[in-house]
Amino acid sequence: MGRVIGIDLGTTNSCVAVFEDGRPIVVPNSGGYKTTPSMFGVADDGKRLVGHLAKRQAITNARHTVFATKRLIGRRFDDTEAQRTLEFSPFEIVRGPNDDPRVRIGEKAFTCPEIAGIILRRMKRVAEEYLGEPVEEAVITVPAYFTDTQRQCTRDAGKIAGLEVLRIINEPTAAALAYGMTRHGDEKIAVYDLGGGTFDISILEMSSGVLEVLATAGNTFLGGEDLDRRIVTHLVQGFEKTAKIDLKGDAMALQRLKDAAEKAKCDLSVREVAEVNLPFITSSGGEPQHLNTEISRETLEDLVQDIVEETLKSVDECLADAGLSASEVNQVVIVGGQTRMPMVQEAVTRHFGRRPHKGVNPDEVVALGAVLHAHMLVEEEKELLLLDVTPLSLGISTFGGHFARLIERNTTVPVTKAHIFTTTRDDQSAVKIRVLQGESDLAEENDLLGEFILAGIPLAPKGEPEIEVSFDIDSSGMVSVSARDLATGSEQSIAVNSTSTLTSEELEQLVADHEAGEVRLKG
């Protein structure tokens, strides 16, 4: 068996780790950086660029350089969050045949799992160059609040990258694993994970060789990208007010503003005022126009205060589900690059009544935890038992448009649960099982994961047939569902595959194309 790697597939940056000499280590890329930008681009000559190479051409070739597509993976094109991405996106996002958002570059529309697969393939090569041998297996992390569809898309991305994904593990859980590597004794831990695109909060209990997730909550569309967007909006509005020019339709200007906003945000973590100087941002009447202004830390905090407060609402929800008060948490671990912001650290300190633990690198700890878990799987180590949970409730649509929960959120996985349902019409010979995930009592307000038909039900008055619907969630949080007519034993089952994910034919073609390196771009 070859080496197994752990990959943190991030919205802004990705990171890969290996297990060497009895400990996990983060592997630097060829440029010596331990994180790689989660960016993909295509040069004018059709050459594919990943990571830092893609980032370098982002301003000069903004239409053909893609970033933060993790926020779109597993979503539908009409999702509110997907539409928000369109607002300031310099690249073109189009509706795919599966009603999924895709990025058009030239004549090709890339799916989000495909872009993630390209980035994962780059991380795979970083590990292979370091180890000097091929890598075929990996543990990949996802936000704890990812839906089943988003987890499936991530697994598809791993397959496109040429990897067998041994396990999908939640990012806060991976961080807790890395944190707990050097800890002893019983502790209740809160992992506050604010990254580039997503926010997670998980409450875990560590005791006697068991790391158990008590509850998790979060928002898969809340992170550093939103802070950047607030700064960009502030700069665009300020420039329009002074120069009477709207920059929103200028792709190159928007990308320059995005880069400047990210830099200013980082600068304001260590100083009170940051300068934004963008000469020749546009032209008007044949005259060049320049953007030169300052942003104070106070201004930034005013712009993003509601975003930080939104994370604390998820913290309270998670604590309530765990049955704990903030004072009962022994340690708070902060993860994700956005937690470097002083305002975030102060908010966490106030909310928990203690300063967060800073003994882990927020950019690397998730990848380290992923490879730790990978090592536990391949070596079958029993020193630590990991018990994770499903983040969202699962169930089916019932008569009247109601949502019948079979598995409540924060149930420990793996888990199997079944419930008996019946027909709603006389002589009904078939039923449609619509599998949903979410927290609303109304079926239409939850995410549809998939649907199938159970046929061959004996004709009988309504209410008499007994149909057992069974849900199974594995350790990666992947869902499968079966329905069985108890009278005849007739059964149908599916490994849930949402209509917004890749078809098996699409996935096989992408794997073949990327393995052969035959995908070429035009335009």
* Distance separating alpha carbons of residues 169 and 477, to the nearest angstrom: 8
Helix (H, G, I), strand (E, B) or coil at 62: helix
* Distance separating alpha carbons of residues 259 and 472, to the nearest angstrom: 44
Residue with tokens 């539908």: 76
Residues 409, 439 contacting (CB under 8 angstroms): yes
Active site residues: 8, 70, 171, 193
Cα torsion 193, 195, 200, 202 to 10°: value is: -20
**Helix residue ranges per DSSP H, 148-191:** 148-160, 171-180
Is the link from the previous residue into 288 a cis peptide, with omega within 30 of 0? Answer: no
Count of C-beta atoms within a 10 Å radius of residue 400? 8
Residue with tokens 């690397």: 364
* Distance separating alpha carbons of residues 34 and 55, to the nearest angstrom: 16
65-67: strand order across its sheet: 48-50, 39-42, 65-67
The residues that bridge with 94 in the sheet, in sequence order, are: 102
Count of C-beta atoms within a 10 Å radius of residue 210? 12
* Distance separating alpha carbons of residues 27 and 16, to the nearest angstrom: 6
394-398: strand order across its sheet: 402-407, 394-398, 430-437, 447-455
